[in-house]
Amino acid sequence: MKKNPQTNTHKEFVFQKKNYLFMFIGLAFIVLGFILMSGGGSDDPNVFNPDIFNFRRIRLAPTLVLIGFGIEAYAILLNPNKKKEN
């Protein structure tokens, strides 16, 4: 079969620049949240380190991860072609 040179095979990406921007922002929130969750262990297994239950690891880091997932969902559902109505 021969291809017709007159057919326009213009391919577009599913997402556009604005979608990818929000995806990278959401990914940054998720990575930051996991980095803040890490650490706090003890070198000696017989010694308890209460630092594992501080505000940063229990409240802040999981909140940042959830916010990141919310931004990712927004980035996927965002339609950059939609025009604003004033």
* Residue 39 vs residues 9, 28, 48, 49, 64: alpha-carbon distances, Å: 51, 19, 14, 11, 17
Whether pLDDT at 47 is above 90: no
Out of 3-7, 21-25, 57-61, 72-76, least confident range: 3-7
**Is residue 4 very low, low, confident or very high in pLDDT (cuts 50, 70, 90)?**
low
Q: What is the structure's pLDDT at 5?
A: 59
Residue 20's closest CA among 81, 82, 74, 84?
Answer: 74
- Between 61 and 83, the higher pLDDT residue: 61
Q: What is the structure's pLDDT at 31?
A: 97
For range 43-47, the mean pLDDT: 81
Give one word for 40, left, alpha or beta, with left for phi > 0 and alpha for psi -120 to 50: left
User: Any idea what the Cα angle at residue 29 is, between residues 80 and 64, rounded to 5°?
Assistant: 120
CA 58 from chain centre, in angstroms, equals 20
